[in-house]
Structure 1
Amino acid sequence: MNEHPLIARRSLATELTERLRDMIVEGTLAAGSKISEPDLCETFGVSRTPLREALKVLAAEGLVQLTPNRGATVARIEPGAIEELFPIMGMLEALAGELACARLTDRDLRKLEAMHGRMVTHWKAGEWVPYSRLNREIHEQIFVLAGNQTLAGLYQSLMVKIHAVRFVARKSPERWAEAIDDHERMMVALRARDGAGLSSLMREHLRHKADVVHEALRQLDR
């Protein structure tokens, strides 16, 4: 049975983007590996045109690197970039958390609670891809609630650089439980509208994430 069934002719580029993104998150397409366009065209039963459109979208997200005359590879990040970028991300997320707490409505909180609950359900089921997607959406929602477009723009510009590993780096069971604990404590701070507390937790969460990414890179090198 084909693990990746053929895609219907509607919205080919969009569906291909989603399929390829999941393959990268799942590790089917490993960080640093070359992407074979002929193989993927055969797998999904499509031409190169929609596939290349999908690869351009993933390149804009930072998940894929496109090199002239060499094609596409799954992006990876170097240890030096982690040390440089993650502390900045931590400060941005800390500020976003503080601002979000000051503006948070009961309706906003209910939405975050629902997202968090679904994410925990996926964690308990060991479902990495939907867990990773909700994790990303929760962090992005906090920036939306912060209500600062300049801050959100800085965040998105840096996310392009680290998106390839931040939500893709596989966690050990212990690290995954640690991430869930971080999010549980973040929800406690949000419920209390504790901006200072959430700010501190967000910086700690990014330090934990940097450790996970370092571990993932060491595994790739081995």
Structure 2
Amino acid sequence: MTLAERAVEMLRDAILSGRLPGPHALTERLVVETLGMSRTPVRAALQTLANEGLLSYEPHRGYSVRQITAESVTGAYQVRGVLEGLACHQLAEAGLSKATIETLGACVRLGQELLADGGASFRHDEWREMNTNFHQTIARAAGNETLLETLSHVSRLPLTSFNTIALIGATPDFKLLEAAQADHEQIFIALVSGQAERAETRMKEHIAVAGALIAKGMAEGEQHRSRPVAGRARR
């Protein structure tokens, strides 16, 4: 794991656990001093978390932690599932171009490669890039500009971006990654074979599972934050 990846995981954990609640200003200097890292990995980590929707950025003011709840994450994933499911349906009905088939096929093969040795040489950045490419390729190839614009907006909400799936936590859960990979393969097969309803259903299920897992982690974090307060009150 690179320093930037380590910084991402440490900051993400602090945000999700409530140690860095929103709204909370998060300066580059503060993070450098807190993590004991140089500015380069910290800057990359802050940008990654902003892309995930955990941080917001304003010119001349910097980054701040966004205020999020399990309910808001669940709602965002419900909308995302509908949109991406519709994209799959429309793409399967219209048919895939050769370029789209090649791109999605390459994503599927890379996913297989990254998980081939049981995760011994798993590379976070390549998985994130592959996953983002897979989902964005489908959305763009569907040819529905309104859908694409709406999905782009939803994906900027906290923890709803394409690269958030299955990567919450310091160590990826490879059972979840393998399940996500299997979903990608089934979605790809359904798209290529023109099975519009099947492609839509599999994508909706794929997104729903990811959203439920992240919302569950959020809810557990909220419960954990509430327990110490009661414990201290009793003492």
Same fold (TM over 0.5): yes
Q: CA deviation at 1:218?
A: 4.4
> Partner letter of residue 98 of structure 1?
H
The gaps in structure 2 that reach 5 residues or longer are 225-235
CA contact (8 A) 2:154 2:160 kept: no
2:196 is the counterpart of 1:202: no
Deviation at 1:141, TM superposition (A): 0.8
RMSD between aligned residues: 3.4
Give the AA of the match of 1:199: E
Instruction: Give the share of equivalent positions with the same residue, in percent.
Output: 20
The equivalent position to 2:10 in structure 1, one of 21, 28, 35, is: 28
Output aligned runs, 1:54-73, within 5 Å.
Answer: 59=50, 62-66=53-57, 72-73=63-64
Aligned residues: 199
C-alpha distance after superposition, 1:141-197 (max 9, x if no partner): 101111111110000011111446743424533322221221121121122121111
Asked if structure 1 preserves the Cα contact closer than 8 Å seen for 2:139 and 2:148, the reply is yes
The residue that corresponds to 1:8 in the other structure is none
1:43 and 2:37 correspond? yes
Q: CA deviation at 1:132?
A: 2.2
CA contact (8 A) 2:85 2:200 kept: yes
Deviation string, structure 1 residues 194-219 (Cα, Å, up to 9, x no partner): 11110111111111111221233245
TM-score normalised to structure 1 length: 0.73
| Contact 1:175–1:212 (Cα < 8 Å) also in 2 | no
TM-score (norm 2): 0.69
Maintained 8 Å contact 2:66/2:158:
no
Choose 73-82 or 153-162, whichever is displaced more: 73-82
The residue that corresponds to 2:128 in the other structure is 132
Asked if the contact 1:77–1:164 (Cα under 8 Å) also holds between the matched residues in 2, the reply is no
Does the aligned pair in 2 maintain the 1:63–1:74 contact within 8 Å? yes
Question: Residue 180 of structure 2 aligns with which residue?
Answer: 179
Q: Tell me the secondary structure at the aligned position of residue 212 of structure 2.
A: helix
- Show structure 1 runs of 5+ residues with no match: 5-18
